[in-house]
């Protein structure tokens, strides 16, 4: 059964300073261990002069694949706390690298855990996380009179129209949440007196960001 879950849709960068040490968190969407490894290597080359480039990533079906590294920091003070933030937020398909430029003052075990965890949270704040939702993609063909009625039905149900094409007839594309798909079909049929032709395109995952609907 398709279930909703969160993914990193767009990566970003955030920074935290603790006792003159700089912690730069860079995030990126990844779909495999190979993509995560390539991203980690890319950041290591970018920040080649940093003391540490610690990382954590989560991907795979149900987020079952994950890995983290302290990259020379005391054991369990960097990679594991970073991974805990990702899993605690329930985010998948994500890799984060936290680059540390040492500021001359030791932070201690607790200080390192807080700094690396805080850096990941800062990085996520500058990223775009979306919920990956299960839905049914529909294509609806109607006349111009029916288009307004369908838009009304969709608005009442809180289902955004993905795309609308106006030609001799109107073609509307929507992605309805699985739980609302049958209701939407019934409402469209009722409000257009059965004149609208509804073509089901299958079940998909989709996301919503800034009012826009997109396939995932």
Transcribe 85-136 into DSSP letters.
HHHHHTEESEEEEEEEE--SS--HHHHHHHHHHHHHHHHHHTSEEEEEEEEE
Res 182: pLDDT: 95
For residue 3, name the pLDDT band (cuts at 50, 70, 90): confident
Domain boundary among 70, 103, 126: 126
Asked whether residue 105 falls in the same domain as residue 153, the answer is no
Cα 130 from Cα 188, distance rounded (Å): 28
For residue 173, name the pLDDT band (cuts at 50, 70, 90): very high
Q: What is the mean pLDDT of residues 171-177?
A: 94
Asked whether residue 28 falls in the same domain as residue 116, the answer is yes
Which residues are CB-contacts of 83 (< 8 A; sequence separation ≥ 6)?
56, 58, 66, 68
Asked whether residue 145 falls in the same domain as residue 209, the answer is yes
Average pLDDT over the chain reads 94
Domain boundary among 102, 126, 150: 126
Res 61: pLDDT: 77
Write b or e for each residue in 112-144: b if 16 or more Cβ atoms lie within 10 A of its Cβ, otherwise e.
bbbbbbbbbbbbbeebbbbbbbbbbbbebebee
Res 154: pLDDT: 93
For residue 106, name the pLDDT band (cuts at 50, 70, 90): very high
Asked whether residue 115 falls in the same domain as residue 175, the answer is no
Asked whether residue 109 falls in the same domain as residue 74, the answer is yes
Res 208: pLDDT: 81
Quick one: which of 136, 130, 131 has its CA closest to 159?
Answer: 136
Question: Which range marks the domain in which residue 74 is found?
Answer: 5-126
Asked whether residue 23 falls in the same domain as residue 116, the answer is yes
Residue 1 has pLDDT above 70, yes or no: no
pLDDT digits (tens, 9 = 90+) for 54-87: 999 999 878 899 999 999 999 999 999 999 999 9
Asked whether residue 15 falls in the same domain as residue 90, the answer is yes
Asked whether residue 113 falls in the same domain as residue 194, the answer is no
Asked whether residue 142 falls in the same domain as residue 85, the answer is no
């Amino acid at each position: 059964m398709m279930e909703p879950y969160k993914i990193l849709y767009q990566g970003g960068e955030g920074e935290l300073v603790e006792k003159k040490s700089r912690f730069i968190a860079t995030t990126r969407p990844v779909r495999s261990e190979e993509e995560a490894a390539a991203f980690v290597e890319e950041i290591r080359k970018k920040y080649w002069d940093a003391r540490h480039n610690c990382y954590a990533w989560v991907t795979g079906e149900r987020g079952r694949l994950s890995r983290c590294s302290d990259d020379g920091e005391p054991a369990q003070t960097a990679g594991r706390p970073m991974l805990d933030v990702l899993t605690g937020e329930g985010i998948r398909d994500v890799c984060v690298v936290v680059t540390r430029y040492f500021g001359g003052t030791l932070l201690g075990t607790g200080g390192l855990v807080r700094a690396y965890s805080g850096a990941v949270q800062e990085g996520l704040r500058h990223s775009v996380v979306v919920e990956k939702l299960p839905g049914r993609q529909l294509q609806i063909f109607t006349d111009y009179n029916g288009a307004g009625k369908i838009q009304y039905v969709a608005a009442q149900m809180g289902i955004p129209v993905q795309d609308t094409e106006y030609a001799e007839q109107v073609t509307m594309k929507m992605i309805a949440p699985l739980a609302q798909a049958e209701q939407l079909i019934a409402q469209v049929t009722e409000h257009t007196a059965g004149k609208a032709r509804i073509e089901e395109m299958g079940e998909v995952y989709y996301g919503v960001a800034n009012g826009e609907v997109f396939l995932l």
